[in-house]
Structure 1
Amino acid sequence: MADKRDYYEVLGIDKNASEQDIKKAFRQQAKKYHPDLHPGDKEAEAKFKEVNEAYEVLSDSEKKARYDQFGHAGVDPNFGAGGPGGSPFGQDIDLGDIFNSVFGGFGGFGGGGRRANPNAPRRGTDVETSVYVSFEEAAKGAKKKIQYKVISTCPECNGTGAAKGTSPKTCTSCNGSGRVTINQRTPFGVVQTQKACDACHGQGKIVEKPCHHCDGKGRIRKTKSVDVTIPAGIADGQILNIGGHGNDGVNGGPAGDLHVFVNVRPHAVFERRGNDVWCEMPITFAQATLGAEVTVPTLDGNVKYTVHEGTQPNDIFKLKGKGIPNLNGRGRGDQYVKVTVEIPKNLNTKQKELIKELQKVTTDKNYQKRKSFMDKIKDLFKD
């Protein structure tokens, strides 16, 4: 734990960062070090894991509170003298137990009062990961297999934490409630407070023979894979929710969800603006002057388009229905093509002479007789 960097430092935020700030910082760092962008780079892979670990803690309000109070020890299930059945800083800690054990309940203040059954089913927490897709995959949809880390019920003990052939026993100190009542004599009389049972660490059960596979924790971390459908029309930064693929629940509770952040790689030719696609189309000087049929790339393949005679640089034409499909709806956007005219270079003597002749002709016919805007204004004020 001593070698671990501060989680706030890893994400580049301060302790007062909001939930949105934490999520934004995670996405920025995850994009920066994602293995897809650094194939074979072990250092980037290690930093990506570090970023995910930091986000897993700081995005969970309970884990964040433990981390803020105890540092890495507060979120490390292997830390402390918890032993079988749980740790005082383990996965299922109750912050009210810490408060009451330090400050006392004072008849209901500081988290006292009725407590939930420690062995009741609880839903697993959500997990977040990211996927990178190409521009075309985002536009047309795709199937992706995603691997991510989850906390799963131990297959050897089915989550009990007890070795095969054995089972946890109800704690006799708290009769399975996970909490004990303490009578304290004060100047105001005898005050009853509650705290987590020291014998079972608030679990209500004691594991005498811990499972060798999970060291008595009942849960293990493993890599899981899932096939994800990327819907056509999805945009960069959108999130897909996959129900029931997060961390396993506790005591038979349902699993959490998986949130997949979609990152769309930029395209060399196309640019997305809403559901429209934009691109630039270079044509020759002759094509712009005389008009011509040109080949235009689209998401559906190349199409033919006739540029009109006298097309100017930066003119824009539209290909209807060649844009991005509407997400979860009908229809699609359009494609806009901005014309760029390539001026010929390295002309030989004959070619230069032809250009000069063309200039003379166009100057004589078109430009000498054409009055400028200012000339027309001056004419209005002539006597």
Structure 2
Amino acid sequence: MYSRELLYFSIALVILLVILTGLCLYLMLKKVIDNKNRNQIERYKEEYQLALFQFLHEGVEAEELSVRSPLQTRALIELLASFSKMFASEDMQERLQGFAEEHFQPFILSQLKHRRWSIRMNALYWIHDFKMKSMLEPLKKLHASKKVSKAEEMQLLKIQVLFDEKKLVERLSETKHELSEFEFSLLFHSFREDQFRPLISAFDNLPEVMRFALIDSIGVKNRMEHVSFLKHLLDTGTTELRVRALKAVVGMEFYLDIPTLSVHLHADSWQERLMAIKACEYIRSTELSPVLQNLMSDPSFYVRSQAAQSLLRLENGQALLREIAAYAEDGYARDMAEQWLERGAVS
């Protein structure tokens, strides 16, 4: 009985070793083939580079750009994708798009339908880089698929922004996957002004995460034409919206008048007070010093620190901080003043 079990175990072990050896050999062979293909692609790219550049620059297509194998197609696509990021000329971009539409549509369509996620993503990147409007219908089918991944949906949305698809706001509000504020911000950063305006108009009806991302995008992209919208939020928005509007104003280095700032410097929310102090740095008016001195005794460490920093940047800031450090009744205010006086001396 014992010898029979040992025999079975030995057979199983041999079978396992054979399978592992076969798998190892397969992976090694695949690696060799992949490396060989990659080297061949790089050689093709060197051969095509000059002819493709001349075509994009002059519009005359050379015979050297003809392809006869998948590796040649891949080489030309990769080369064209790199060129698409280098040239901003409208004529060259039009030639690039037309060349891709004429030569690569069947290949990219096959990649778009591939079972492997990474290959489908590459196809989406190429469609975006080449602005291939002929792929709109296949893209709609992919977007409608229940198996579309979050990364694919993000790239599909970027393509829709690029092509200025209708009902873009509705599509963004009803995504298949839950997008984060950061992901919405990435999309909004690429919006043209004529695409951005409908978002402002629909602001009150947007999901909260989209509203936050929209405000962030105004600040990051320095969209000065929407300052009045930010001011409206400062007057009527919730605490969170006011904080984010102030952050956008700070990012744009926009001047807010002192009466407006004073309202937010006395807000209940420490985050709102903090952002209002940061906005003070673009004014540097001694008129603000009494409020900033009071904020040196704020319950929030971050507010006290920011108030001290803003005071230090005033014309008589060091003298004010020395006075606080020496005579303030509040111990926290004295400590913070001493810390920033030391930092100022070091800098």
What's the TM-score bracket when you normalise by the shorter of the two chains?
A: under 0.3
Is the helix fraction higher in 1 or 2? Answer: 2
User: Taking CA–CA contacts closer than 8 Å with sequence separation of 6 or more, which of the two structures ends up with the larger relative contact order?
Assistant: 1
More strand by share: 1
- Structure-2-length-normalised TM-score: 0.20
Q: Normalised by the size of structure 1, how large is the TM-score?
A: 0.19
